[in-house]
Structure 1
Amino acid sequence: MSKEFPLIKVLNVPFINTTQAAFLTTVEARINQRQNTFIVTANPEIVMYARTDSNYQHILENADYITPDGIGILKGAEILGEPMTERITGYDTMLALLKWGNEQHKSVYLVGAKPEVITDVKAVVTARYPDLNVVGTHDGYFDDFAPIANDIANTHPDMVFLAVGFPKQEQLIADYRHQNNGLWMGVGGSFDVLSGHTKRAPKFFQQHHLEWFYRLITEPTRLKRMMVLPRYLKTVKESAHHQK
């Protein structure tokens, strides 16, 4: 875990406590220096999963940065009496890095999502960021990541975005990051949004931290996943009580 930012532990997961702008400045400098960098953008679901899987917890501890993706993490830190500056979402971080990569003529490799989604992502990225070099793409349907990792090693991208969902994306990054000194970041469902296949919550929902509610009313199948949130908050409250 890199030491540039103060860390706040929420249920044993060490989150960086900083602004999106300061974080991006650091990450961009690392990409320029071709430093191997592994970012995890973690929400309550990831935190709760790590509690039940020691291997995944170990992967998180070995990432360079874990950012608070989602209002639940900020709420948790607040309950623990250690408020965080702001949330740093995977989607916004990815967009900012694509924009920066375009300005700096960087290269990117995109892996994940359904075949039709990754095709549309490539089209959107090449249209929106014409000076960013997309050196490779692959959908999320693969049995073996080794040939893709091999291609990443050969094409030497500045940034690799992997959208195959947790815990798989973080496990793959932990296993293969040594093959390319650049940025490795898991971005979950971000390709679905970037390609236009899934709509992002309207501004009102974003500003009022109600993206989860928007997703719930537009995708009721998410209810089971959303049920993690009350369990997570209860666990944080219990840990805050023990710390007193």
Structure 2
Amino acid sequence: MQTTFPTVTVLGIPFVKTTATALLSELQRRITQQQNTFVVTANPEIVMYAHDHSAYHDLVLGADFITPDGVGILDGAKILKQPLPERITGFDTLQALLAWGSTHHRSAYFLGAKPEVIAQLKPILARDYPGLVIAGIHDGYFQDEAPIVADIQEKQPDMVFTALGFPKQEQFIHQYRHVTKGLWMGVGGSFDVLAGAVIRAPKFWQEHHLEWFYRTVKEPKRLKRIAVIPHYLHLVRQQAKRMPPRG
């Protein structure tokens, strides 16, 4: 992983130690200069999956930037006595890039989510980001990825956003990022939120680092995903104990 920012390594994953504003500025610079860029937005669930799957771990390390998407990552960094400035979520980064892209008439390709979500998303993108060039938009329910990859290669978008869920979205980017000179980022369920199919937690919950709780109340099936947090924090504490004293 090559980055212009210092990093804090939590369970083998090096997170950028910077602000959302500084990261956005760097991503915009790289897009403008046509530098191929791979961004991973990682929460504790992704860190734990990488911890248990070495191939995925190595793949993630190939990203240019890994951002702390989740308060659990900030908690882990604090336990290691290497605090990170703030949470940098995939959804906020996506929105900021779309707004910038609209202002500067950049192009974006959208891949993922359910067909009905994509149908909802199309008019919302046109309304909210009128200057953005939609190079392509495709749901995540495909049997053959070859035509999609060929379309991305032909369109050469400035940005490719994959909402396929981990590990699939990162695996897709790792395999095909070479076909453009643009930015590639996995954004999980962000298309659902953009389309209004899933309501994001109100600002109060976000600002008090309780977005995870709000979403779990709204979607009880997320409980299984939240269950990885205690084990994750236990492993981080073990990592902290193995670290040499800082003097």
Question: What TM-score, normalized by structure 2, do the two folds share?
Answer: 0.97
For residue 68 of structure 2, what is the amino acid of its counterpart? P
- Which residue of 1 is the match for residue 102 of structure 2? 102
Give me the identity figure in percent. Answer: 58
Q: Is the 8 A contact 2:192 2:198 kept in 1?
A: yes
Q: Is the 8 A contact 1:145 1:172 kept in 2?
A: no
Which range moves more in the overlay, 159-168 or 1-10?
A: 1-10
C-alpha distance in 1, partners of 2:92/2:213? 19
Number of residue-to-residue matches in the alignment: 244
Q: Which consecutive residues of structure 1, in runs of 5 or more, have no partner in the other structure?
A: none
Q: Is the 8 A contact 1:192 1:198 kept in 2?
A: yes
- Which residue of 1 is the match for residue 47 of structure 2? 47
C-alpha distance in 2, partners of 1:188/1:146? 21
- Which residue of 1 is the match for residue 225 of structure 2? 225
Q: Is the 8 A contact 1:40 1:66 kept in 2?
A: yes
C-alpha distance in 1, partners of 2:61/2:97? 23
Q: Is the 8 A contact 1:5 1:17 kept in 2?
A: yes
Q: Which consecutive residues of structure 2, in runs of 5 or more, have no partner in the other structure?
A: none
**1:3 CA displacement:** 2.8
Q: Is the 8 A contact 2:152 2:179 kept in 1?
A: yes
C-alpha distance in 2, partners of 1:231/1:144? 37
**1:241 CA displacement:** 1.2
Q: Is the 8 A contact 2:3 2:65 kept in 1?
A: no
For residue 213 of structure 1, what is the amino acid of its counterpart? F
- Which residue of 1 is the match for residue 153 of structure 2? 153
C-alpha distance in 1, partners of 2:56/2:3? 21
- Which residue of 2 is the match for residue 57 of structure 1? 57
C-alpha distance in 1, partners of 2:3/2:152? 28
- CA deviation digits over 1:221-240, x for unaligned, max 9? 11111101111111111111
For residue 113 of structure 1, what is the amino acid of its counterpart? A
For residue 179 of structure 1, what is the amino acid of its counterpart? V
1:129 and 2:132 correspond: no
- Which residue of 2 is the match for residue 170 of structure 1? 170
- Which residue of 2 is the match for residue 119 of structure 1? 119
